[in-house]
Amino acid sequence: MKIIFDELATRYGSSEHPERPERLLATVPHLRKVLPQLGWERPFVADDKTLLPAHDEAYLARLRQPIDFDPDTPYYPEIDQHARRAAGGALLAMKSARQGEPAFSLLRPPGHHAKRAQAMGFCYLNSIAIAALNALNDGCERVAIWDFDAHHGNGTEAIVTGNQQILFASIHQYPGYPGTGTHSFENVVNLPVPPMTDGEVHAAKVKEALDRLVAFRPDLLLVSAGFDAYVNDPITNLRLEADHFHRFGIWLREINIPTAAILEGGYSDELPGLIESFIRGWSGV
């Protein structure tokens, strides 16, 4: 298994913001210590050609303007480059998976709230939608997206809705940010769970979503791997434990579909152990 990371992804942001550099600064040395057999690779910076299937050209220019997008999603110097690097990591993970090696893109910022022409929810470019659309352009017939982040992947939904070569499934807290994802339609499967849902009930919904994606018979599965449904996450109200994320990884190992995962949310100080649990399940280590 390959981990995609670049230390440049830790060189922006604020320790006062939930989506802070410490998420990676703590996780990377932890994984290097406890899982020394993992391979590591640096991402590339995605260019306009790879971004334009998911985003408008005028929006890419907007990312360079030094103006905050909203209170949750501030402008940072060179944020467009950091977001392009995260998108490049998703593309590299996708390509690695298609070549037979599962890959986890361990970068920031996250992406699944970003719409075609709107940054929001800590997200600037929608890395997973970019990877999915580029995979289709490169010969994939069907791509599935499994989003188990605690928040609805509204940006991904907005970008892929109506594309019958993509099936998107999101399991998320509702009521909760961003207030969407209440029903399924077309090529979108939404499975909302109420705050404080029992962890086993929640995990069963996550498995239901995966089963529906597998039935789609995709050539590629992309995972929006958010760890903010963890019971001790500071900004959500769900009850998953580390063992549940380990179980999610085992399910991926069992389905025998080329798979790449992209880090989304997860704001607990215990994030390194949660990612470790997921990777151990997925890799079989």
Could you list the active site residues?
A: 113
CA–CA gap between residue 193 and residue 178 (Å, rounded): 14
Place of tokens 């590591």: 40
* Residues 6 or more apart in contact with residue 187 via CB below 8 angstroms: 160, 161, 162, 163, 164, 166, 167, 168
Handedness of CA 113, 117, 122, 125 (dihedral sign): positive
Residue 200, judged by CB atoms within 10 A of its CB (0-12, 13-18, 19+), counts as: exposed
Question: Residue 222 belongs to what H/E stretch?
Answer: strand 220-225
Q: Please, what is the Cα angle at 131 between 211 and 8, to 5 degrees?
A: 120
Indicate the SS3 state at residue 285: coil
